[in-house]
């Protein structure tokens, strides 16, 4: 007996409350932009600058013990990561990043010495192999590069959907992606969760995930537009969403199961990244149905397709969930 998250056949009207759902999305985006402009983001070391320390030790790395040893020094945001050095596989290598202290671009030698003493109290064999600093100028360049990366991803999506479908579809897809990214940033601004390069990676992943879900429904919509040439556009859209609903719910549900396990059991290092992914899955699933489709419905699409489609549809659209 198989578990089904949704019935085999559904006839739900996803556009019954279109004004309410789309209006809520518009309000959420506006609030997110306001939160970003008024509260800003809690940038991590990657974007604020700081000092990176690379250590070697003979004993196994205990990240928790390292963090507890450094905490009394009051250095603010400290990131500790164990890394593998292929050139020296016999040693346990750690990368420690300390945020820039107020009024200075890098951590002073006195502070570095205090960190060394604290860590050597945990592991006497530990040594500092490299100490380097990242100033505000480099951090500012990283912020620009991150913004360009997200914009480039959205631009590529716009062109791809335009060529693959029609320009109305591309506008709807990109609007949904902007919706997902802005609301995620707004939540990070509201909760003041640390925002670093890992979160940028999460945002780019969200763009890909949301696009995948949107394209699946768009593909079924295009097939149904050819099949039901006299049916109203709204009804064809409802039919397409209902036909792919099982696949959408199953994919989102199983992805959330894995992300929730990582969030609660993965530790503090990846919690921000996983939280952004959870937000992206939930908001992306919502936007693919209630944002992208509303925009396409508003813009309308041509019904006189130049060629017929011999395919029978997406073979994964109606998988039982």
Region of poorest pLDDT, from 91-105, 204-218, 265-279, 290-304: 91-105
Task: Name the token pair of 196.
Answer: 């670093």
Binning pLDDT at 50, 70 and 90, where does residue 312 land? very low
State whether residue 301 is helix, strand or coil. Answer: coil
User: CA nearest 212: which of 286, 285, 293, 294?
Assistant: 285
pLDDT of residue 52: 83
Task: Name the token pair of 86.
Answer: 């292929």
- pLDDT, mean of residues 293-318: 61
Non-local CB neighbours of 114 within 8 Å, separated by 6+ positions = 73
CATH 3.30.70.3220 residue spans of the chain? 50-134
- pLDDT, mean of residues 111-125: 88
The DSSP line for 57-84 is ESSPP-HHHHHHHHGGG--SSEEEEEE-
- CATH T-level assignment (fold) for domain 50-134: Alpha-Beta Plaits (3.30.70)
Is residue 311 over pLDDT 60?
A: no
Q: Is 83 exposed, middle or buried (0-12, 13-18, 19+ CB in 10 A)?
A: exposed
H/E element, 223: helix 197-227
- Provide the mean pLDDT of the chain: 81
pLDDT of residue 320: 45
Radius of gyration of the chain (CA): 24
Three-state DSSP string of 17-49: CHHHHHHHHHHHHHHHHHHHHHHCCEECHHHHC
pLDDT of residue 256: 92
Q: What class has domain 18-42+138-299?
A: mainly alpha
Burial readout 31-40 (b: 16 or more C-beta within 10 A, e: otherwise): ebeebbeeee
- pLDDT, mean of residues 67-86: 81
Tell me the β-bridge partners of 51. Answer: 98, 133
Q: Are 25 and 62 in contact (CB under 8 A)?
A: no
pLDDT of residue 14: 83
pLDDT of residue 189: 93
Binning pLDDT at 50, 70 and 90, where does residue 89 land? low
Is residue 318 over pLDDT 50?
A: no
Is residue 82 over pLDDT 50?
A: yes
pLDDT of residue 226: 84
State whether residue 194 is helix, strand or coil. Answer: strand
- pLDDT, mean of residues 230-244: 86
Q: Are 67 and 79 in contact (CB under 8 A)?
A: no
pLDDT tens, 119-149? 988 888 888 888 877 665 566 677 788 788 8
- pLDDT, mean of residues 228-255: 86
pLDDT of residue 321: 40
Is residue 223 over pLDDT 80?
A: yes
Measured CA to CA, the distance from residue 268 to residue 275 in angstroms comes to 11
Percent of the chain with pLDDT over 70: 85
pTM of the model as a whole:
0.75
DSSP state of 50: E
Measured CA to CA, the distance from residue 66 to residue 72 in angstroms comes to 11
User: CA nearest 152: which of 177, 132, 187?
Assistant: 177
pLDDT of residue 257: 92
pLDDT tens, 4-57? 666 667 778 888 888 888 889 999 999 999 999 999 888 877 777 778 888 888
Around Cβ 319, how many Cβ atoms within 10 Å?
12
- pLDDT, mean of residues 210-216: 83
CATH 1.20.1640.10 residue spans of the chain? 18-42+138-299
- pLDDT, mean of residues 62-73: 88
Q: Virtual CA dihedral for 44, 45, 47, 53, nearest 10 degrees?
A: -160
Binning pLDDT at 50, 70 and 90, where does residue 166 land? confident
The DSSP line for 88-154 is -TTSEEEEEEEEPPTT-SS--HHHHHHHHHHHHHH-TT-EEEEEEEE-HHHHHHHHHHHHHHHHHHH
The DSSP line for 249-300 is HHHHHHHHHHHHHHHHHS-STTHHHHHHHHHHHHHHHHHHHHTHHHHHHHH-
Task: Name the token pair of 313.
Answer: 């549809």
């Amino acid at each position: 007996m198989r578990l089904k998250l949704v019935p085999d056949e559904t006839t739900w009207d996803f556009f019954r409350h279109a004004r309410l759902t789309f209006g809520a999305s518009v309000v959420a985006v506006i609030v997110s932009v306001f939160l970003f402009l008024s509260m800003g983001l809690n940038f991590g070391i990657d974007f604020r600058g700081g000092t990176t320390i690379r250590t070697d030790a003979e004993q196994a790395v205990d990240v928790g013990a390292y963090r507890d040893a450094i905490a009394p020094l009051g250095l603010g945001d400290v990131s500790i990561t164990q890394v593998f050095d292929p050139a020296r596989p016999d040693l346990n290598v750690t990368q420690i990043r300390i945020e820039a202290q107020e009024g200075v671009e890098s951590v002073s030698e006195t502070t570095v010495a205090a960190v060394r003493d604290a860590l050597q109290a945990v592991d006497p064999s530990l040594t500092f192999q490299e100490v380097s600093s990242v100033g505000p100028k480099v951090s500012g360049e990283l912020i620009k590069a991150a913004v360009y990366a997200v914009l480039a991803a959205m631009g590529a999506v716009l062109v791809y959907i335009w060529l693959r479908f029609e320009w109305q579809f591309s506008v709807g897809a990109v609007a949904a992606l902007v919706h997902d990214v802005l609301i995620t940033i707004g939540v990070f601004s509201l909760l003041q969760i640390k925002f670093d390069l890992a979160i940028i990676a999460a945002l780019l992943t969200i763009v890909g995930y949301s696009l995948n879900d949107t394209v699946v429904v768009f593909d079924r919509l295009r097939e149904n537009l050819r099949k039901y040439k006299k049916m109203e556009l709204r009804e064809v859209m409802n039919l397409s969403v209902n036909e792919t609903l099982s696949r959408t719910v199953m994919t989102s549900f199983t992805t959330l199961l894995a992300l929730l396990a990582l969030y609660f059991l993965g530790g503090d290092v990846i919690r921000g990244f996983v939280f952004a992914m959870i937000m992206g899955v939930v908001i992306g699933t919502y936007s693919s149905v209630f944002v992208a489709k509303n925009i396409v419905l508003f813009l309308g699409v041509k019904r006189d397709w130049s060629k017929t489609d011999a395919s029978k549809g997406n073979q994964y659209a109606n998988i039982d969930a």
